[in-house]
């Protein structure tokens, strides 16, 4: 049986995926990390869990998170982020700036790339940098 929770694509396989495919996966990975982090923090109601999740898992917040982690990224990670950020998208929500939306797409592409690469340790490092900043505020 294939373990779809532990995908380990090699460099060549990762290179064949579009930035939007990486962002598609990364969006889910980041949201699951946020939901797990919030649930583990003792949030009592589903309403507060949902509200807090939405406050963190959105393009504007993700664009801010890029600023937190960008200086910590390796050359390969920065390349994946920029490739995702520069991807042409068909539409941008009306309430969203194009720059934030593109930055968020790059952020999600990075998280998808790390997940599919099987680098959970690095995902956790970057996520910890983000959550430490959230806790400070």
Question: pLDDT for 30-79, tens place per residue?
Answer: 999 999 999 888 666 777 888 899 999 999 999 999 999 999 999 999 99
Residue 5 covered by a domain: no
Total structural domains in the chain?
Answer: 1
Residue 27 bears catalytic tag: yes
Contacts of 9 (CB under 8 A, 6+ apart): 17, 116, 117, 118
Residue 6 lies inside a defined structural domain of this protein:
no
Catalytic residue among 10, 27, 52, 100: 27
Task: With respect to residue 88, please indicate whether it lies within any of the assigned structural domains.
Answer: yes
Q: Which domain holds residue 107?
A: 11-136
Please state, as a whole number, how many other Cβ atoms lie within 10 Å of the Cβ of residue 95. Answer: 7
Domain presence at residue 4 = no
* Predicted local distance difference test score (pLDDT) of residue 95: 79
In a domain, residue 96? The reply is: yes
Let me know if residue 102 belongs to a domain: yes
Q: Which residues, at least 6 apart from 35, have a Cβ–Cβ distance to it below 8 Å?
A: 49, 53
User: Is it the case that residue 93 has pLDDT exceeding 80?
Assistant: no
pLDDT of residue 44: 62
CATH code at position 119: 1.10.1520.10
Contacts of 43 (CB under 8 A, 6+ apart): 49, 52
Asked if residue 1 belongs to a domain, the reply is: no
How many angstroms separate the CA atoms of 85 and 121, rounded?
Answer: 23
Confidence of residue 91 (pLDDT cuts 50, 70, 90): confident
Model pLDDT for residues 19-41, shown as the tens digit of each residue: 999 999 999 999 999 999 998 88
Structural domain includes residue 78 = yes
């Amino acid at each position: 049986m294939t373990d779809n929770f532990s995908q380990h694509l090699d460099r060549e396989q990762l290179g064949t995926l579009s930035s939007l495919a990486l962002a598609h996966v990364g969006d889910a990975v980041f949201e699951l990390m946020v939901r797990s982090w919030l649930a583990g923090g003792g949030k009592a109601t589903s309403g507060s869990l949902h509200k807090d999740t939405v406050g963190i898992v959105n393009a504007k917040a993700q664009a801010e998170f890029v600023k937190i982690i960008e200086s910590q990224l390796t050359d390969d990670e920065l390349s994946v982020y920029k490739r995702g950020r520069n991807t042409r998208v068909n539409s941008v929500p009306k309430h969203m700036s194009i720059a934030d939306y593109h930055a968020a797409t790059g952020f999600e592409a990075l998280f998808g790339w790390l997940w599919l690469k099987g680098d959970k340790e690095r995902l956790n490092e970057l996520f910890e940098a983000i959550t430490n900043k959230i806790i400070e505020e």
